[in-house]
Structure 1
């Protein structure tokens, strides 16, 4: 589907002042990875203070820099996100893998936020926590501006209880019940988090496990709210999530995949096209102080079994 393009407000730092627009684009190349920035400059799609700007424009303090991104064809996304709970303040849906929560990369109108805002005719709808593109499960949205703070504060205070399910490589030992490993950004892949003694504290509880041949199906509860915490912790103890490209045992493979984004080339190693991680349960309080205990009915286990069987053959569950 061809969208209508996007207006993107770009960050300006003190170090960008008194430099040309072309220099800004060159110095901030990672922001524009995958974009035709030379074409954008030639077509004057960069605007300064609301006006199309040539490449030699000198950026000044107080300037507003925007990119008028041209229309593009967005990838198709799954549309099965059943409503699990709704009241006047909050909407909770069961997100499938393969759709982002908010616009990112090639996704704009094909983001869950955009689709739900259109479906409910509610521009105030806003997510109050996050799930990765490939992670499925419960995601909550505040329906009113005045409700956002109430729900977001629960996540910030870590009073919300979340229960995840994952399929991982290897047989997790019966005596592993808690992963307590501080995490920090990886020096090679900046969007990845790895164990570091000076990192932020992170704790994940392993509640239950079942062995599926050489794999383990596990239930987990994050006791802290670090980015990619479950994925990083499981990888750190030698049991990366099946289908997890970024946290798999071969980081070089992830870097190769970035060049083409062709997952089929590496399915023999990753086993599944998307990471096998699902947010099964969510417990939080509504604005009246009542406890909301919410549960996903999505049958991810059966889906993961079918996916593994297509690569490895049938597996024995114990």
Structure 2
């Protein structure tokens, strides 16, 4: 549901300048953070603070000072709320996230996030995610219930000791004999948050565990297991082979389409190209070690393939898919 939040305090980068630069110098150093923002209004309202004092343009910042900025209350976008609890014990909570729900605050989302909703639902302000899922990716995601438990689980993800399996729907007839994708990745020169194939990039490896061709569509359903854990690895690997994930805006065949969408966020206008309002990628299985020394293996019960097929049928009808 849409909600007017209570505003947000945002920690800004620490001041690393020598001596005692005035705040204006600091703002110039970090100008990219304030492009198009009403900085003068924020100063008048007292929204810049540091060390429990309100800052003006003439304020002095010492080296190491970290200002913070208050973002006034705003109405957040509507998000889905069909969150399924898959597992809970003394140290861990695992839920099945719907697509379109961000895990942590980002952009226009602050309270309408999985983290905030779960903290409110469980009355546990210490709850924290131990890995990440994109806003449009659905499926299993794990949360540590206390700060001293987070490192135990996070280390398993960082060391690639977690067994993960994803279901994906891609454009085209994916080759059934391809079982391993070895494709180094680097940052794209056009879209800096995008990973692209690069022989000099960071090694990235994905197992293709299963391939099924959809006879009604020129598409394939894949079971993918990331062996390495690079950001956007599965999306980049599928796109790099010429089989982008259906509904994937950033990794679709036309990067200019994604850039236009960033400007207007009008997903419905581009559905004829993307076919789905979100990327068809689902975290289906998760297996990790517990503090007791056992292996916890979990599987999502969402029938995402059928959901994707239903949406594809809707998008093919006059009027398109229902994005709500």
Structure-2-length-normalised TM-score: 0.91
In structure 1, what is the equivalent of residue 322 of structure 2?
Answer: none
Deviation at 1:47, TM superposition (A): 1.4
* Matched-pair contact (CA < 8 Å) for 2:285–2:297: yes
In structure 2, what is the equivalent of residue 47 of structure 1?
Answer: 49
Aligned residues: 313
Distance, in Å, in 2 between the alignment partners of 1:146 and 1:116 is 19
* Matched-pair contact (CA < 8 Å) for 1:204–1:230: yes
In structure 2, what is the equivalent of residue 274 of structure 1?
Answer: 278
Distance, in Å, in 1 between the alignment partners of 2:169 and 2:308 is 8
- The match for 2:197 among 176, 191, 195 is 195
* Matched-pair contact (CA < 8 Å) for 1:246–1:254: yes
- The match for 2:299 among 288, 291, 295 is 295
Deviation at 1:221, TM superposition (A): 0.3
**SS at the partner of 1:14?**
coil
The C-alpha deviation readout for 1:209-255, integer Å capped at 9, x for no partner, is 11122111111000011111001111100011111111111111111
**SS at the partner of 2:177?**
coil
**SS at the partner of 2:75?**
coil
* Matched-pair contact (CA < 8 Å) for 1:25–1:37: no
Distance, in Å, in 2 between the alignment partners of 1:49 and 1:169 is 53
5+ long unaligned stretches in structure 1: 314-318
Matches within 5 A, 1:165-244: 165-212=167-214, 213-244=217-248
5+ long unaligned stretches in structure 2: 318-324
Ranges of 4+ aligned residues in structure 1 off by more than 6 Å: none
Distance, in Å, in 1 between the alignment partners of 2:231 and 2:300 is 22
**SS at the partner of 2:4?**
coil
In structure 1, what is the equivalent of residue 311 of structure 2?
Answer: 307
* 2:129 equivalent to 1:160: no
* Matched-pair contact (CA < 8 Å) for 1:45–1:52: yes
Distance, in Å, in 2 between the alignment partners of 1:101 and 1:247 is 20
In structure 2, what is the equivalent of residue 65 of structure 1?
Answer: 67
**SS at the partner of 1:198?**
coil
Structure-1-length-normalised TM-score: 0.93
